Amino acid sequence: MTSDPVCIDAGEPVQAALALMNDESIRHLPVMHENRLVGVISDRDIAQALAVSSRPTLIVEEAMTPNPYSVLPENVFSDVLRVMAANRLGCVIVKDGGENIVGIFTSTDAVRLLADLVD
Q: Are strands 8-9 and 28-33 parallel, antiparallel or unpaired?
A: parallel
Angle between helices 77-87 and 107-118 (to 10 degrees): 120
3-state secondary structure of 52: helix
Residue 45's pLDDT band (cuts 50, 70, 90): very high
End-to-end CA gap in the chain? 19
> What CA–CA distance (Å, rounded) separates 87 from 102?
22
Q: Which residue has the higher pLDDT, 114 or 33?
A: 33
Q: Which residues contact 43 (CB under 8 A, 6 or more apart)?
A: 18, 21, 27
> What CA–CA distance (Å, rounded) separates 44 from 71?
23
* CB 14 within 8 Å of CB 58: yes
Which domains can be identified in the chain, with CATH numbers? 2-118 (3.10.580.10)
Give the model confidence (pLDDT) of 53-106 as tens digits: 888 789 999 999 999 999 999 998 899 999 999 999 999 999 998 789 999 999
The dihedral formed by the CA atoms of 45, 98, 70 and 96, expressed in degrees to the nearest 10? 110
* CB 46 within 8 Å of CB 63: yes
pTM metric for this prediction: 0.91
- pLDDT for the residue numbered 55: 84
